[in-house]
Amino acid sequence: MNPSSERIVFTGSGIVCGSGATVSEVWARIESGESSIDKFRWERGRVRRYDWDSSNWPCGIAAEVKEDNRTLVPDRKLHKTISRKDMYGIYASEQAIKGSGVLTCRETMTDASRNSFNDRTGLIVGSGGANYHDDYDFLPLIHEAKGDLTGFGRELSNQVTPMWLLRNLPNNVLCHVGIQWQLKGTNACITNQCASSPMAVAESASAIINGEADRFVAVGHDSVLEPEHMLYYETLGLLSREIPKPFDASRSGTVFGEGGGAIILEKQSDAVERGAEVIGEFLGFGSTCEATGTVELNPTGEGLRRAIEEALENAGLVPSDVGMICAHGNGTKASDLTEGLAIESVFGGNIPPVTAFKWAYGHLIGAAGIVDLIMTLESLKRGIVPGVSSFSEVDSQLADFPVGRTHTKLEGDVALVICRAFGGLNVVLAVRGARR
Amino acid sequence: MNGEGKRRIAVTGIGLVTPVGNDRESTWSALQKGKSGGAQIENFDATGFSTTIGAEVKDFDRENAGPCRKLLKGASRAHAYALAAAEEALKDAGIAPNESDSHRWGLAVGAGMMSVDYDDLKVVEDYATEEGQFCPDRLLSDDFPADPINFCRWQSNAGLTVLAKAFGIRGYATSVHTACASGGQAIGSALKALRRGQCDKVLAGGFDSMLNPIGISGFCLLGALSTDNDNPTGASRPFDETRNGFLLGEGAGFLVLEDWSNATDRGATIYAELGGDGNSLSCYRITDSPPDGDGPIQAIEQALKDAGITAEDIDYVNAHGTSTQMNDRSECAAIRKVFESRIDEVNVSSTKSCMGHLIAAAGAVEAAVCCLAIRDSVAPVNANLQHRDPECDVNLVVNESKSVKIRAALSNSLGFGGSNSSLVFLNPERGEK
């Protein structure tokens, strides 16, 4: 439990994904049961670097971000030194920072006060790993050198941009959001695959509690939307040919999304003092590993059960306090079943309504947890547990599991957000919604 | 608990795989002698590149790395180093996760760069391009040798996954990547998780290997590497006026961290107390640290404060010291600012002068060096220094390593992207007075 009496609140958020580029836009599509998953077609040009028509691909659907690079990051100089998925993080951060007004007070500060304010403002980013297609910059060179490494080395600087390494640094969003907003305090770039971004939120809150910083921008961004990634996920049997159906008897896999999310964390007393709108409260988190390897999962959900219990204990909650669960619900056979079993083992016969958002905007991988958190806070604010529009019949091994097609009324104001990743990683956040 | 009510954390195990030695003691012995790990690159044909030298791990017994041969299938070159170093650290500590406490064990790693291997890229070129232009649909051909194991090995948390499975760690687990600051930040994350009671023991460290055609290409394109191809052992010369870039290294370093009273109760040998962590973002330029040391200064000051000590207590600084002009000058400006009047007393060296730059592993390996320096009362030499850069006016350990009682040591790591990490290690005898 939080040892200091200081409560940690969320005061602003930003989002971009296939379903939209503002929180209200994404919420509206969720509320109307509309998924942004579809076939897509890339054309070589400013945004995409090769032609790709997904209709030729067996599982060729995704929730693609539609916004142009210039909409996401107006500073065009930056486009040469970052990748498109970095733009999602930079865009979401700007929305969250501006929306929260958390940096506004700097404008009237003396230099000394501003420096110390910046040193006490942290930034933690959950990032994806590398993308295969970033390395395709080397393909023309490999072709020309005909597989000869000596020739490859000699011609390197004539064929490949000097910016190649910088464009592909995993910590680019950390660097550029930091420079843009002068956030100079505690920082990290977390690369825990699908569990990256909830860990960014949890580590930010922990650092405020620990007294390292007074406020944080927590960010997640990712895109695995590229041919090779899609091929390997499909080879592993993880991709669906239709909109994912979390916990459904006929579910057949997940679908890629892409995007970014950002959220501002600060002390409640600071938020009250500056008259900020509070959109939620961080209560606690749990983090566990199943030690099972990349894609295998503990068949009983034991690792996730421990993470849920740890989050409840850390937040000072009992299971009956929870009004809603935002599940990972990626739509794959093994993950959903073990997730359901873990939830059942903690909540017994009194499971609160469960929802999951991947039917709406796909699986955002490194950004999934933080975008789910933002939509969970929106659900809490509106007192609605959104239905899963692709759902029809629950998995027979999860009888009476409370997930459904239609929206249900929320009881209480506390939610759990569950996030799972390759490697058997589980992160669970416990949050309270803003009072309605 | 220490004076400020923080849980005290002991370092009870160390494991290393570096360009100067494949275990802890051989690495430490080479560093004390100032022996360089630089040589012509052997792992691949580097003769066409502007830099043909590197600090490779030599004669590494991959087949016996880690506790389980089967896991090596999913392990990259850097992951194998990590398995070997982590195994050595756990054996050294004399503890390992078991059925009853594995959920109280944490794992925090600084994970290396994640570019695809040249050979895998060559396969894409062979099967899925036309005149070097990528044609996605060709990947769907039955001939394309899609290998899901390659895919797993290449995930951002693949190293974490392999280590967790190898040693059965089931608690808090995290992988951080802040380029050259990764290893230091991972150890900092571990310290915080231990202090907030989320775990009782943590395996913490870093691993990296960019000594492959794609990895070295990135640095060659930026012009960041030394091109002293005829002088591999002298190429890394931090703080020397004639330096011209860093020497790319590879390897892994791991520490076993545990609750202090747990360590003393079981009679463990304690190398040092992990006293404090400091962490800042320079917000200046992606590849450079600011000339006035702004950023690194805050990280060092925070680490000292976190450890409950002052600049007066530090006897050794293991500098980031990459052997690039911008880094070396910025770091020296920071050290001068923090240590002020004690600048002539505080021993400073960069062991990158011997090992080269281990990138994401650097901070972890150098944290281990600080612990060994405390154990043996030795400040290791800053090798290859002949013409000191006048802008780097700090008390460098030159010519040979120096015998000196070290009450506390500081390890700095400054990363591409602007992340700065400082760690403070305290002499274990210090607290027992």
Q: Give the pair of three-digit tokens for residue B346.
A: 């505080």
Exposure of A396 by Cβ count < 10 A (0-12 exposed, 13-18 middle, 19+ buried)?
Answer: exposed
DSSP B70: G
A78 touches chain B (CB under 8 A): no
Give backbone dihedrals phi and psi of A3, rounded to 5 degrees, phi first. Answer: -70, -30
To the nearest whole number, what is the mean pLDDT of chain B? 95
Distance between first and last Cα of chain A: 26
Q: Which pairing describes strands A354-355 and A324-326: parallel, antiparallel, or unpaired? A: parallel
d(CA B279, CA B422): 6
d(CA B358, CA B362): 5
Distance between first and last Cα of chain B: 15
Chain segment B302-320, per-residue pLDDT in tens? 999 999 999 999 999 999 9
Chain segment B167-179, per-residue pLDDT in tens? 999 999 999 999 9
Which whole number is the average pLDDT over B382-400?
Answer: 97
A223 touches chain B (CB under 8 A): no
Q: If we measure between CA atoms, which residue out of B252, B245, B248, B162 comes closest to residue B213? A: B248
B43 touches chain A (CB under 8 A): no
What is the CATH class of A8-130+168-433?
A: alpha beta
Q: Decide if A156 and B49 are in contact by the 8 Å CB cutoff.
A: yes
Locus of tokens 């490194």: A366
Q: Decide if B189 and A295 are in contact by the 8 Å CB cutoff.
A: no
Exposure of B55 by Cβ count < 10 A (0-12 exposed, 13-18 middle, 19+ buried)?
Answer: buried
Chain-centroid distance, C-alpha B238? 17
Question: Contacts of residue B116 in chain A, CB cutoff 8 Å?
Answer: 130, 132, 135
CB burial readout B188-220, b (16+ within 10 A) else e:
bbbbbbbbbebbbbbbbbbbbbbbbbbbbbbbb
B357 assigned to active site: yes
Q: What is the ipTM of this complex?
A: 0.97
Question: Contacts of residue A182 in chain B, CB cutoff 8 Å?
Answer: 283
Chain segment A181-191, per-residue pLDDT in tens? 999 999 999 99
Which whole number is the average pLDDT over B65-69?
Answer: 93
Q: Decide if A166 and B287 are in contact by the 8 Å CB cutoff.
A: yes
Question: Domain segments of chain A: what residues?
Answer: 8-130+168-433, 133-165
Q: Which amino acid is at B187?
A: I
Which whole number is the average pLDDT over B88-106?
Answer: 97
Residue B433 has pLDDT above 70, yes or no: no
- Residue A197's SS3 state is helix
Q: If we measure between CA atoms, which residue out of A80, A138, A402, A70 comes closest to residue B214? A: A138
Select which of B79, B180, B199, B371 is catalytic.
B180
- Residue A218's SS3 state is strand
Torsion of CA A164, A169, A174, A179, to 10 degrees: -30
Residues 183-222 of A with CB under 8 A from B: 183-193, 195-196, 199, 203, 206-207, 209-210, 212
CB burial readout A329-366, b (16+ within 10 A) else e:
bbbbeebbbbbbbbbbebbeeebbbbbbbbbbbbbbbb
Lowest mean pLDDT among A163-167, B150-154, B337-341: B150-154
Chain segment B218-271, per-residue pLDDT in tens? 999 999 999 999 999 999 999 999 999 999 999 999 999 999 999 999 999 999
Residues in a beta bridge with A430: A284, A416
Q: Which amino acid is at A174?
A: L
Using only C-alpha atoms, chain A has a radius of gyration, in whole angstroms, of 21
Q: Which pairing describes strands B39-40 and B133-134: parallel, antiparallel, or unpaired? A: unpaired
pLDDT reported for residue B3 = 54
pLDDT reported for residue A130 = 87
HSE-up (13 A, CA, CB side) for residue A178 = 31
pLDDT reported for residue B130 = 94
Q: Cα dist. A386→A34, A374, A408 in Å?
A: 12, 13, 7
Torsion of CA A200, A201, A206, A209, to 10 degrees: 140
Point out the residues of chain A with pLDDT beneath 70.
1-4, 436
With a pLDDT cut of 70, the percent of chain B lying above it is 98
Residues in CB range of B262: below 8 A, 6 or more apart: B10, B200, B201
Select which of B79, B332, B357, B370 is catalytic.
B357
Residues in CB range of A210: below 8 A, 6 or more apart: B192, B195, B196
Residues 273-332 of A with CB under 8 A from B: 287-295, 303, 306, 310
B79 assigned to active site: no
Domains and CATH numbers, chain B: 10-116+154-427 (3.40.47.10), 118-152 (no CATH)
